[in-house]
Amino acid sequence: MTHSSDEALTVLVYSDDRNTRAQVLAALGRRPAADLPEVEYQECATTPAVLRALEKGGVDLCVFDGEAVPAGGLGLARQVKDEIYGCPPVLVLIGRPQDSWLAAWSRADAAISQPVDPVALAEAVATLLRARLGARSLAR
């Protein structure tokens, strides 16, 4: 599945906390960067919902809440990197900057500390989406 320049990208946002998901969506808006297509969001509150969405395909980036309960986003990131063929990039939201070693263990592509800094989140998401689009155009 390739994207034309005007086709929306899909970002999956996982957290058991509705407020955390809303915070991510508000921080990113419809277009995290001017050079990227618009973004559509798929919100998931449970691990099975995330796995179903990723198995179905069409997700360009995942944002996982590392503090989610009962399954944290760090363990879930490691699981999807192991189990999902062609897994999209994963950004994890970590509770404290000191938890960056956990993000490395999880094999996440990026990590942002909570509370979410909207500028840092948008920059990290834009970087990951640009890389994803670049890899896709090379594969064509």
Q: List the chain pLDDT tens, one digit each, 140 residues.
A: 444 456 899 999 999 999 999 999 999 999 999 999 999 999 999 999 999 999 999 999 999 999 999 999 999 999 999 999 999 999 999 988 888 889 999 999 999 999 899 999 999 999 999 999 987 666 65
| Strand 90-94 with 110-113, pairing | parallel
Quote the pLDDT of residue 93: 96
Give the residue among 23, 90, 96 at the shortest CA–CA distance from 50: 90
Torsions phi, psi for 58 (to 5 deg): 85, 5
Quote the pLDDT of residue 137: 66
Quote the pLDDT of residue 2: 42
Torsions phi, psi for 138 (to 5 deg): -70, -30
Quote the pLDDT of residue 1: 41
Domain spans of the chain?
9-139
Buried (b) or exposed (e) across 106-120, using 16+ Cβ within 10 A? bbbbbbbbeebeeee
Class of domain 9-139: alpha beta
Q: Which two tokens stand for residue 72?
A: 């944290």
